């Protein structure tokens, strides 16, 4: 995750005749680094990071690696198509909640159809409340609205405690579903347009094995469409999608999701406010993951991505 966090620059004294620059701001960048297999890299040194502004290297004023609290939501599909897998869904969510650390805050949303989406448990640090909410989930009939469930959950997580400049906690959404969208109010393009405006990573646990896998020459199978949607949700927000084949995989999946979310590098440099392009780069050969196309905000401004501007909602590297 890469998010600029403006921090006021301390006042400085200048001698007579010295030129005073007023067009910079100390900006903090929160960076998640992964390899080509989506595994976090936790041993990158300060001298391996480079920050460029309009192609010009900038000195890094501050660098650290820290674990940060997480605000995240569990958006859980409890529609009829998951009737036989409900316990697996609850087990997956339970494994994630049990990985919470002090300071983490979580909410639970259940979604069925467009008119049956509710917050079962709002943001809390209480594992007891969360587990109680999970254990009270139940299946209900309706035309599954995966897109609507994700749309509203993403809104909820991004609005919570928003506006604190000193808050560097990560915001994420973990979606547990089979991915079969039948009748959402929002269209897919509306969902992704909204996600491009929000500061939230999406991780997906997709229980797709019971969906129809045989399609036609023109028509994609139900499973293929579901997998495509879930992969797109994760890929375009810098998250990951998991498709467990057995219950034994769930603890490791939960561990990987939490590890991805919790660890990040924090660096700061003086950003020239009159310019709009920035790329934080690892030394050596690298390639930015090309399926990310997000913009980022500084002091309320929004700057367009370009071939050399690699600031994305999900910040990833592919080491060669």
Mean pLDDT for back-to-back runs of 10 residues, the chain (320 residues): 36 41 56 64 75 71 78 94 88 91 94 94 97 95 92 91 63 92 92 81 89 67 91 85 89 86 73 53 40 27 30 32
How far, CA to CA in Å, does 200 sit from each of 34, 158, 240, 263? Answer: 17, 7, 13, 15
Give me the pLDDT at residue 16, please: 44
Rounded CA-CA distance 85/92 in Å is: 11
- Main-chain dihedrals φ then ψ at residue 216, nearest 5 degrees: -115, -170
- Main-chain dihedrals φ then ψ at residue 143, nearest 5 degrees: -80, 110
Structure-block tokens of residue 93: 């969510």
Structure-block tokens of residue 80: 């009829």
Give me the pLDDT at residue 198, please: 75
Rounded CA-CA distance 275/286 in Å is: 24
Give me the pLDDT at residue 42, please: 74
Give me the pLDDT at residue 272, please: 63
Cβ(39)–Cβ(53) below 8 Å: no
Cβ(103)–Cβ(125) below 8 Å: yes
Give me the pLDDT at residue 163, please: 55
Which CATH architecture group holds 70-261?
Answer: 3-Layer(aba) Sandwich (3.40)
- Main-chain dihedrals φ then ψ at residue 7, nearest 5 degrees: -130, 130
Closest CA to 64 of 30, 41, 40: 30
142: left (phi over 0), alpha (psi -120 to 50) or beta: left
How far, CA to CA in Å, does 110 sit from each of 144, 175, 256? Answer: 11, 10, 23
Q: What is the DSSP string of 232-275?
A: HHHHTTT--EE--SSGGGHHHHHHHHHHHHHEEEEEEEEEETT-
- State the Cα angle at 231 between 35 and 77, rounded to 5°: 125
Closest CA to 316 of 274, 265, 248: 265
Give this prediction's pTM. 0.70
Domain ranges of the chain: 5-12+19-67+263-303, 70-261
């Amino acid at each position: 995750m890469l998010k600029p966090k403006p921090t006021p620059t301390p006042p400085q004294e200048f001698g007579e005749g010295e030129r005073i620059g007023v067009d910079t701001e100390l900006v903090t960048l929160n960076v998640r680094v992964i390899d080509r297999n989506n595994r976090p890299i936790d041993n990158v040194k300060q001298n391996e990071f480079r920050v460029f502004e309009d192609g010009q290297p900038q000195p890094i004023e501050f660098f650290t690696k820290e674990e940060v609290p997480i605000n995240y939501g569990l958006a859980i599909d409890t529609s009829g198509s998951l009737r036989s897998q409900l316990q697996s869904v609850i087990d997956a969510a339970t494994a994630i909640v049990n990985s919470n650390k002090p300071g983490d805050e979580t909410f639970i949303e259940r979604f069925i159809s467009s008119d049956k989406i509710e917050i079962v448990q709002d943001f809390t640090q209480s594992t007891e409340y969360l587990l109680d909410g999970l254990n009270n989930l139940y299946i209900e009939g309706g035309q599954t609205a995966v897109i609507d469930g994700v749309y509203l959950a993403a809104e909820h997580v991004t609005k919570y405690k928003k506006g604190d400049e000193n808050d560097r906690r990560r915001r994420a959404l973990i979606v547990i579903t089979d991915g079969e969208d039948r009748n959402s109010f929002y269209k897919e393009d509306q969902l992704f347009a909204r996600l491009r405006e929000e500061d939230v990573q999406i991780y997906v646990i997709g229980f797709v094995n019971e969906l129809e896998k045989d399609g036609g020459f023109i028509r994609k199978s139900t499973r293929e469409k579901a997998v495509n949607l879930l992969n797109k949700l994760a890929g375009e927000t810098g998250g990951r999608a998991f498709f467990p084949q057995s219950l034994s995989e769930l603890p490791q999946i939960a561990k990987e999701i939490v590890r991805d979310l919790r660890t990040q590098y924090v660096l700061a440099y003086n950003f020239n406010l009159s310019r709009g392009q920035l790329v934080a780069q690892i030394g050596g050969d690298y390639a930015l993951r090309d399926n990310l196309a997000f913009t980022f905000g500084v002091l309320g401004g929004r700057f367009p991505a370009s071939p050399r501007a690699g600031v994305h909602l999900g910040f990833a590297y592919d080491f060669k």
